[in-house]
Amino acid sequence: MKRYFGNRNFILWLLLCCCGLPLNAVAEASSFNMTKGVTTISHDVYDLHMIIFYICCAIAVVVFGLMFWAMVHHRKSRGAVAAQFHGSTKMEILWTAIPVIILIVMAIPATKTLIEMEDSSKSDLTILVTGSQWKWHYKYLDHPVEFYSLLATPRDQIENKATKGENYLYEVDRPLVIPTGKKVRFLMTSDDVIHSWWVPDFAIKKDATPGFINEIWTRVDKPGVFRGQCAELCGKDHGFMPIVVEAKESADFDAWIAAQVEAKAQAAAAEQAAAPMTKEELMALGQKTYEARCAACHQVNGEGLPGVFPALKGSQMALKDIPAHINIVVAGKAGTAMQAFGNQLSTSELAAVITYERNAWGNDTGDLVQAKDVAAAAMPAQE
């Protein structure tokens, strides 16, 4: 047999197969490696990751080293004559026992870190995190504060019509705020499909499962802004539900909570006193709300996705019966991806978005729906 394996090829091959090694040199750079994060746990996880990684590299160097040595020296072209041994119990026992020992060495720190991670007792603050398609909802159990947190990256940036910002896809309208130096416990659940709440800097990732509750905790020592995103495929806009957590000093946090409570009271009062809006006002607010909340499924042009998300343009729902239209927006449609927006939007936003849907894309019904119509509308049960 002719040989096809020159020395130059061999060196190239060696280089390629060792391309794992440069990883060591850049291990600290976060665009190549796991983040160290900002909590004790995340540091432990990072150290664990690096230990295991170095052990794996060492194993690889030994095994591949022997293999390449054999490939260089025990070649037919070098006149190597094949030995005929085909087994050695001693060797077999050796290379069963050594990996077992290495594995035990790996398992000890892993077990220690894991037990620490799972101990969520004695928390100072509890936040209920609820995932839904495609946003997060945060509710502070110790304070009367709750809100939705949505992607804030403009559509123009996603569609390449505008320059992408620094935190492209990692920015939200209302970040979750937590105090520093406190043990914060998160309870996870979901409204529809399974989501997964992941903030790499805290080294926490936990699934949000509909109907079930999961818990996890963190303690952040320094103020800062930390970003993550949903980690479990949850449908069309899975890639567009980021998480932003802002850690504030305890005093700042308390001030923030107070401001939220105040703002909520003001918004409620404003809602009560709201005067009827003009068509222009309704359409402007409606368009803004529609593009933030509805366009993910029904599309910006109102045409939906055939077979998945129904079109609103020209649909009976948006052209005919106003109460039915209000009802489906407020109460959702069971067994489909249509959510109940009654708890998510203010009555003026609901009124505006319904007005918008009845007057946009050639749906020229001319209907105006006001906040009081939404509040007064009877809500017959959905099937």
Partner 1 sequence: MSTNQLSANETTGHGHDHDHHDHKPSGITRWLYTTNHKDIGTLYLLFSLLMFFIGGMFAMVIRAELFQPGLQLVDPHFFNQMTTLHGLIMVFGAVMPAFVGLANWMIPIMIGAPDMALPRMNNWSFWILPFSFSILLSTLFMDGGAPAAGWTFYAPLSTTYSGDSTAFFVFAVHLLGISSIMGAINVIVTIFNLRAPGMNWMKLPLFVWTWLITAFLLLAVMPVLAGTVTMVLTDKYFGTSFFDAAGGGDPVMFQHIFWFFGHPEVYIMILPAFGIVSSIVPAFARKPLFGYESMVWATSSIAFLSFIVWMHHMFTTGMPVAAELFFMYSTMLIAVPTGVKVFNWVATMWRGSMTFETPMMFSLAFIVLFTIGGLSGLMLAIVPADFQYQDTYFVVAHFHYVLVTGAVFSLVAGAYYWLPKWTGVMYDERLGQLHFWCSLVSVNILFFPMHFVGLAGMPRRIPDYALQFADFNALISIGGMLFGLSQLIFVYVIIKCARKKGEQATAQVWEGAQGLEWTIPSPAPYHTFETPPQIK
Partner 2 sequence: MHKPLIYKLLLIGACMFAFSFALIPLYNVFCELTGLNGKTENAAAASALTIDTQREVTVEFLATVDQSIPWKFEPEITRIVVHPGEIKKINYRVESLTTAAMVGRAVPSVAPGLAAEHFKKMECFCFIEQPLKGKESKLMPLQFYIDPALPKEIKTVTLSYTLYNVPAK
Give dist(CA 332, CA 334) in Å, integer: 6
x/- map, 136-155, partner 2, by CB under 8 A:
-----x--------------
Region 21-50 residues binding partner 2, contact defined as CB under 8 A: none
Place of tokens 């170095």: 54
Each residue 166-185 as x (binds partner 2 by CB under 8 A) or -, in order, gives -------------------x
CA distance 232 to 196: 5
State the first-to-last Cα distance of the chain, in angstroms, to the nearest integer.
76
The site map against partner 1 for 8-27 (x = CB under 8 A) is -x---x--xx-xx--x----
Radius of gyration of the chain (CA): 29
The dihedral built from the CA positions of residue 315, 319, 325 and 326, taken in this order, carries a sign that is positive
Q: Residue 54 corresponds to which tokens in the numbers above?
A: 């170095």
Contact 146, 138 (CB under 8 A): yes
Q: How far apart are the C-alpha atoms of 383 and 333, rounded to whole Å?
A: 8
Do 341 and 329 meet the contact criterion of CB atoms below 8 Å apart?
A: yes
Q: Rank residues 142 and 249 by Cβ distance to partner 2 and give the closer one.
A: 142
Residue 1 touches which of partner 2, partner 1, none (Cβ within 5-8 Å per kind): partner 1
Residues 138-197 close enough to bind partner 1 by CB under 8 A: 157-160, 164, 166-170, 188, 192-194, 196
Shortest distance (Å) from residue 253 CB to partner 1: 26
Q: Which residues contact 304 (CB under 8 A, 6 or more apart)?
A: 297, 298, 310, 311, 312
Q: Please give the residues from 32 up to 51 whose contact with partner 1 meets the rule CB under 8 A.
A: 32-35, 41, 44-45, 48-49
Q: What is the nearest approach in angstroms of partner 1 to the Cβ of residue 313? A: 16
The minimum distance between CB 217 and partner 2, in angstroms, equals 11
DSSP 34: -
In the complex with partner 2, which residue's Cβ is closer, 120 or 287?
A: 120
The dihedral region occupied by 169, where left means phi > 0, alpha psi between -120 and 50, and beta the remainder, is: left
Question: What is the rounded CA–CA span in Å between residue 300 and residue 338?
Answer: 16
Member of 109, 154, 210, 235 binding partner 2 (CB under 8 A): 210
Tell me which stretch binds partner 2 (CB under 8 A): 14-22, 161-169, 246-254, 329-337. 329-337
User: For residues 140 and 186, which CB has a smaller minimum distance to partner 1 in the complex?
Assistant: 186
**Which chain residues interact with partner 2 by CB under 8 A?**
119-123, 126, 128, 130, 132, 141, 185, 187, 189, 191-192, 210-215, 330-332, 334-335, 338-340, 342-343, 378-383
